[in-house]
Amino acid sequence: MTQNTPQNLAGRTLLMSGGSRGIGLAIALAAARRGANVALLAKTSEPHPKLDGTVHTAAAEVDAAGGRGLAVVGDVRNDDDVARAVEATVAAFGGIDIVVNNASAIDLSKTDAVDMKRFDLMQNINVRGTFLLSKLALPYLRESAAAGRNPHILTLSPPIASGPGGTLEPAWAGEHLAYTMAKYGMSMTTLGLAEELRGDGVGVNSLWPATLIDTAAIRALPGGEQMVQSARTPEIVADAAVEVLSRPGRECTGNFFTDEAVLADAGVEDLSAYSAGTGRLIPDIFL
């Protein structure tokens, strides 16, 4: 799909939180291959001893993929850093057409085991960071809509109603309450902004992988190296993301997509190329 999709993001500007590696970088590169400008707000200015990639190497990869990259070193938890990222993106590319809320922290500990610093980290990155980046980009997204540039906000968060009959599934709160609260907070941002911006023509959606994805965060978990043998590559989420971002935002809004469903709707039937290993695929959490 990546090689055959038209350049329907050409000239559009995407601002993403995170993106130095993993799913965020895959989305950035998929957008770049379709001609997008991609600004990345991330803390990783220097190489990590255990993880590949920095915000600078990611921006260089965007350039090499056919887009125009911009690296902004900063923390999505910091108001001034986020404001600076928005201003730098507008200064470099003339506006903002797409916001991708990718930055996220994970801790699957039970309630009595979770450290409150980790709780605060997840709330501040996942919920507050998503809200803040979306909030500060709103004036430019409205300008994009007025100019007919099809603006979108896409947040990497799960469906809230995943139980029988579209109800809230309590099992996920019981499994990892702190993390569930943080990810559902991101999804609440999608739910609320989709309604708030419906009259402005800004598409607001969430996207979640149907299966486990091979990322550094998963590999760092206990047993993670074995788990990713039953995962898919980040490119499946990236291809689904650019498909959503190519749809008319006035019509495509308020949805909680899975990557599988988006690609199936786009006519992609064989997903075997996305397999990261030889194991039986593991469904992702929250589904």
Could you give the residue numbers annotated as active site?
179
**In contact, 172 and 115? CB cutoff 8 Å:** no
Place of tokens 């979306």: 134
